[in-house]
Amino acid sequence: MSDPKLQEKIIAALKTVQDPDLHKDIVSLGFVKNMNIEGGSVKFDVELTTPACPVKEQLREECETKVKAIDGVEQVAVNMTAVVRPTEHSQPVLPGVKNIVAVASGKGGVGKSTVSTNLAVALSLTEARVGLMDADIYGPSIPQMMGIPVSPPKGGPENKFFPHEKYGLKVVSAAFLTKQGQPLMLRGPMLGGIIQQFLQNVEWGELDYLIIDLPPGTGDVQLTLTQKAPISGAVVVTTPQEISLIDADKGVKMFQQVKVPLLGIVENMSYFICDGCDKKHYIFSRGGGKTLADRFGIPLLGEVPIIEKVVEGGDAGVPVVMAHPDSPASKAYKVLAGQVAAQLSINQANSSEKVSADFELAWNTERSD
Ligand SMILES: Nc1ncnc2c1ncn2[C@@H]1O[C@H](COP(=O)(O)OP(=O)(O)OP(=O)(O)O)[C@@H](O)[C@H]1O
Ligand SMILES: [Mg+2]
C-alpha cells in the first residue's frame, strides 16, 4: 500500500529540484512520472526533453539524494528517460522530424562538416534518433567523413528514397545522386530542385534531430533551405582568427534576416594540445568565438581543440567521437551535442510560454470587452 503522506513528501522534495536550463522545478515541468511506492521502496521516472541533456546525471543524483533523505524512505530508484519535444513551425514540411538544426559558417574550411558529423553521432550516442543531411551540393564531404561508399539511395514508394544508414544515423548527400567521382553541374533553379528533393522526397521516418551541413557562405543553397525548410535553429561555426570571425558575423546576420533562431556559436580549432603535455596552446588567438557570441547575445556552445585524430577520423570515415570517444575533441563534441539539445528545449519552452501568455492576454482582453 502506498502511503499518501509519504507521496506528498516525495513530491514536495522533488519540487525543490530545478532544471537549470528551463528554470523551473521538475514537478511543475511534468517530468516526474510513474511513481511507485512500496513500503520504503520508491521508484519513479524523470522524463526529460532530450536524452542529450547535459545535466542528466546531476538531476538524477539530486532526486535520489533528496528523496533518500525523507523519513520512511529506504530505497530510491530514479529512471531517467526522455521524449524529445518538437519545435512548432508554421511550415510542416517534414512531419516526422521534430527538430532541424542547420550548421553554417561564413567562411569555408572552418570545420562545418566535421562539426555536423560529430554532433550528429554524439547526439545519436545518447539514443536520440538522428539524421544528417549533406546540403553542400557542390562539395559534399559527409559520405567520406561517415565512411559511406557513394551509391544511389534505395527507392521507396511515390518517387521517394531512403537515406543511407551508418553508425545509427540516417544520411543523405548530393554525392549519392551523382555517379562516383563526377561533379554535380547545376544551374540555379536545378539547385533549388535538389534541395526540394532532400526535403520532400526522403523517407526520413521519425527523427528527433536532423542536422544539416550547409555549404560555406550565404549563397543560394543557404537561402533556399532557410526559406523552405522549417529550421528549428542554426549553429554557426568559426575559428578563432579575426578573418573567420568577420565571415561568421555575416553568417549570424543571414539567419537573423531570415528569422531562423540562432542556437549559438561553435569555436573550432580553438586550441592545440600537443603530445605529452596537457597545456592548451592558443595558436591562433583566444576568445574570438566568445566575443562573437556576446556581440549577438547568443551562447558559445562549445570550443573544439585542434587534434590530429579529428582529421584522421574524417579521412578514414570513422568520426572521432566513435573512434576515440575519450579524446579532448570528442569530449568537446559531446558537450556541444548537449548544449545544442538544451538550447532547442529552452527555445521550445520559451515559445510555448509565449503562446500561453498570448492566449491569456487574448482571453483577458475578450473578457474585459
Ligand atoms: N578540430 C579539428 N582538429 C583538427 N582538424 C580539424 C578539426 N576540425 C576540422 N578539421 C579538419 O579541417 C579540414 C576542414 O574541415 P571541414 O571539411 O569539416 O570544413 P568545412 O567548413 O566543412 O569546409 P567546407 O567549407 O569546404 O565545406 C578537414 O581536413 C578536417 O579534418
Ligand atoms: Mg563542408
The residue ranking higher by pLDDT, 1 or 191, is 191
User: How confident is the model at residue 191, as a pLDDT?
Assistant: 72
Confidence category of residue 368, pLDDT binned at 50, 70, 90: very low
Cell numbers found for residue 206? 521519425
What is 97-337's CATH topology? Rossmann fold (3.40.50)
Residue 274: its pLDDT value, please?
74
Closest atom, ligand 1, to C-alpha of 329:
1
- Show the CA angle centred on residue 351, arms to residues 348 and 352, nearest 5°: 85
Distance CA 357, CA 196 (A): 36
Residue nearest to atom 2 of ligand 1 (CA): 306
Model pLDDT for residues 212-222, shown as the tens digit of each residue? 999 888 778 88
Question: Which ligand has the nearest atom to the CA of 109?
Answer: 1
- Residue 159: predicted pLDDT: 82
116 pLDDT exceeds 80?
yes
What pLDDT digit, counting tens, does each position of 120-158 carry?
A: 999 999 999 999 999 998 889 999 999 999 888 898 888
Q: What is the mean pLDDT of residues 217-231?
A: 83
Q: What is the mean pLDDT of the chain?
A: 88
| Separation of CA 133 and ligand 1 centre (Å) | 17
Ligand 1 nearest atom to the CA of residue 308, by list position: 4
Q: Which atom of ligand 1 is nearest to the CA of 215?
A: 27
For residue 310 and ligand 1, the question of a CB distance below 6 A is answered with yes
Is domain 4-82 classified as CATH 3.40.718.10? Answer: no
Q: Which residues pair with 234 in a beta bridge?
A: 102, 262
Helix intervals (H) in 258-307: 288-296
pTM of the model: 0.91
The whole-number pLDDT of residue 347 equals: 92
Rounded Cα distance, 225 and 104, in Å: 12
Q: Which residue has the higher pLDDT, 286 or 289?
A: 289
Rounded Cα gap, residues 358 and 352, in angstroms: 10
C-alpha of residue 109 to centroid of ligand 1, in Å: 5
What residue ranges do the domains of the chain occupy? 4-82, 97-337
Q: Is the C-beta atom of 221 inside 6 A of ligand 1?
A: no
Residue 166 pLDDT > 90: yes
124 lines ligand 1 (CB under 6 A): no
Q: Taking a C-beta distance cutoff of 8 angstroms, is the pair 51, 168 a contact? A: no
Burial of 257 (0-12, 13-18, 19+ CB in 10 A): exposed
